[in-house]
């Protein structure tokens, strides 16, 4: 019986997460992104699967998935952290990795290149210290291997929908208190927990306070969706468009080419460009000249030439 249930669940998961090939070229430069992305950056992904369409409908946002970039194995100095990553993925030390929660796999480490055919946006935490960034990355790595919390996804769906049968707080895992250790959840909740652990704000609640002026409360990490990192004023949006408007012209267009039009004929000889010869065309028995002044000048020269030829004739030459 368990095997039948497992097979049905696997088929349902595959049906939900299957993504058709991209129908168009992505509007960003993935090569620039993979070289300029930093550990601790959040990747927002616009998915194409059926579950992504459901998330897009519920959250009213194109961003259906979130992942945390952790860097390359070669960049880690902590051998214990390296062992944890090696236990859950078999990649080379130079592979760029992200931590993500997947419906069929739970919390996994995935090569960044897996999303090279997806629309991606980077959210970079503003002003976070290197020490806290290190703690955020380690928090996410220690969550590797945890199952995907399907109940959390269903509860979040029920919480976000405008209607409900039962009160939202009844029997919901969304409103439990975090123990401070990584717990099973969904993609955005794991990342939110990691940043909350170092008291980095995402979308905090702020209320007036008589003593301090204002008082700030961390938001429940189980209530976050991918779009919240996009909306947060504490994350910088990083984009790498396919055609970079800030990129200078190619070097060959920036060379100090001469504007005179002269051509070099070797041996230090420069020659001026040849001028095109103006031509006249007969139109209905009349000449059409491109320049009236040139026509008058040519006519005067022809008259003077005829006069010189007449004076040079001898009397015996008269007709």
Which element (helix H / strand E) includes 106?
Answer: strand 106-111
Quick one: which of 217, 239, 235, 218 has its CA closest to 227? 235
241-269 mean pLDDT: 77
Q: Where residue 20 falls among pLDDT bands split at 50, 70, 90?
A: confident
Longest Cα–Cα distance in the chain: 134
The answer to whether 149 and 190 are in contact (CB under 8 A) is no
The answer to whether 178 and 221 are in contact (CB under 8 A) is yes
DSSP letter, residue 292: H
pTM higher than the cut 0.75: no
Pairing relationship of beta strands 281-283 and 286-288 according to DSSP bridges: antiparallel
Whole-number CA gyration radius for the chain: 37
Which element (helix H / strand E) includes 213?
Answer: strand 213-217
Name the token pair of 98. Answer: 């992200």
Tell me which of 57-71, 114-128, 154-168 is least confident: 154-168
125-147 mean pLDDT: 94
Q: Where residue 306 falls among pLDDT bands split at 50, 70, 90?
A: low
Give the chain's domains with CATH numbers: 2-238 (3.90.1720.10)
Give the pLDDT of residue 183: 47
Query: How high is the mean pLDDT of the chain?
Result: 79
Tell me which of 7-21, 48-62, 191-205, 270-284 is least confident: 270-284
Quick one: which of 126, 115, 135 has its CA closest to 47? 115
Q: Is residue 312 scored above 90 in pLDDT? A: no
Q: Cα separations (Å) of 115 from 21, 43, 310?
A: 12, 10, 91
Q: Is residue 319 scored above 50 in pLDDT? A: no
* Distance in angstroms between the alpha carbons of the first and the last residue of the chain: 129
Name the token pair of 210. Answer: 């008589």
Quick one: which of 149, 44, 40, 182 has its CA closest to 97? 40
Quick one: which of 29, 18, 121, 142 has its CA closest to 78? 142
- C-alpha 144: how far from chain center: 26
Q: Write the DSSP string, 59-100.
A: HTSS--EEEEEEEEGGG---HHHHHHHHHH----TT-EEEEE
Distance separating alpha carbons of residues 149 and 188, to the nearest angstrom: 12
The answer to whether 38 and 124 are in contact (CB under 8 A) is yes
196-212 mean pLDDT: 90
């Amino acid at each position: 019986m368990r095997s039948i249930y497992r097979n049905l669940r696997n088929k349902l998961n595959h049906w939900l997460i299957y993504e058709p090939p991209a129908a168009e070229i992505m509007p960003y430069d993935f090569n620039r992104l993979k070289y300029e992305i930093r550990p601790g950056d959040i990747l927002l992904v616009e998915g194409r699967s059926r579950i992504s369409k459901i998330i897009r409908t519920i959250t009213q946002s194109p961003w259906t998935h979130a992942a945390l970039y952790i860097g390359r194995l070669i960049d880690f100095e902590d051998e214990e952290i390296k062992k944890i990553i090696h236990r859950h993925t078999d990649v080379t030390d130079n592979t760029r990795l992200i931590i993500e929660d997947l419906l069929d796999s739970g919390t996994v480490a995935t090569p960044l290149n897996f999303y090279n055919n997806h629309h991606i946006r980077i959210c970079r935490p503003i002003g976070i210290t290197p020490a806290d960034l290190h703690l955020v990355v380690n928090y996410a790595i220690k969550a590797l291997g945890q199952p995907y919390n399907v109940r959390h996804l269903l509860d979040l769906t029920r919480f976000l929908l405008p209607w409900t049968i039962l009160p939202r707080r009844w029997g919901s895992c969304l409103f439990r208190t975090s123990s401070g250790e990584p717990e099973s959840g969904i993609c955005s909740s794991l990342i939110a927990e990691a940043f909350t652990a170092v008291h980095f704000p995402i979308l905090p609640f702020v209320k007036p306070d008589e003593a301090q002026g204002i008082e700030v409360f961390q938001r429940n990490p189980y209530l976050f969706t991918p779009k919240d990192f996009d909306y947060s004023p504490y994350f910088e949006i990083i984009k790498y468009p396919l055609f970079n408007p800030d990129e200078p012209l190619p070097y060959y267009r920036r060379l100090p080419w001469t504007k005179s039009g002269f051509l070099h004929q070797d041996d230090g000889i420069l020659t001026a460009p040849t001028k095109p010869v103006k031509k006249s065309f007969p139109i209905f028995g009349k000449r059409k000249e491109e320049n009236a002044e040139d026509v008058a000048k040519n006519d005067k020269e022809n008259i003077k030439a005829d006069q010189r030829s007449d004076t040079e004739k001898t009397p015996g030459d008269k007709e």
